[in-house]
Amino acid sequence: MSCPTQEYPALATVGRPVKPFTLETYDPTEGSFGQVSLEKLQQERKWTVLVFYPADFTFVCPTELADLAERHAALKDMGVEVISVSTDTKFAHLAWRNSERLLENVRYQMAADPTGAVARYFGVYDEGAGIALRGTFIINPEGTLVGSEVNFYNVGRNAAELVRKMQANKHLRDHPAEACPARWEPGARTLTPSEKLVGKVYEDLIP
- pLDDT tens digit sequence for 45-59: 999 999 999 999 999
Q: Does the active-site annotation cover 3?
A: no
- Predicted pLDDT at 207: 73
Of the residues 36, 38, 51, 61, only one is catalytic, namely 61
Q: What is the CATH T-level fold of the domain 22-157, as seen in this structure?
A: Glutaredoxin (3.40.30)
The arithmetic mean of pLDDT across residues 146-152, rounded, is: 98
- Convert the pLDDT of each residue in 12-27 to its tens digit: 999 999 999 999 999 9
89 close to 114: Cβ distance less than 8 angstroms: yes
Contacts of 154 (CB under 8 A, 6+ apart): 60
Q: Give the C-alpha separation, 123 to 10, whole Å.
A: 10
Q: Where are the domains of the chain?
A: 22-157
pLDDT tens for each residue of 33-83: 999 999 999 999 999 999 999 999 999 999 999 999 999 999 999 999 999
Q: Is there a contact between 85 and 132 (Cβ–Cβ < 8 Å)? A: yes
* pLDDT band, very low/low/confident/very high, at 1 (cuts 50, 70, 90): very low
**How far, in Å, CA of 170 to CA of 68, rounded?**
19
Using CA atoms, how far apart are residues 136 and 53, in angstroms rounded to an integer?
9
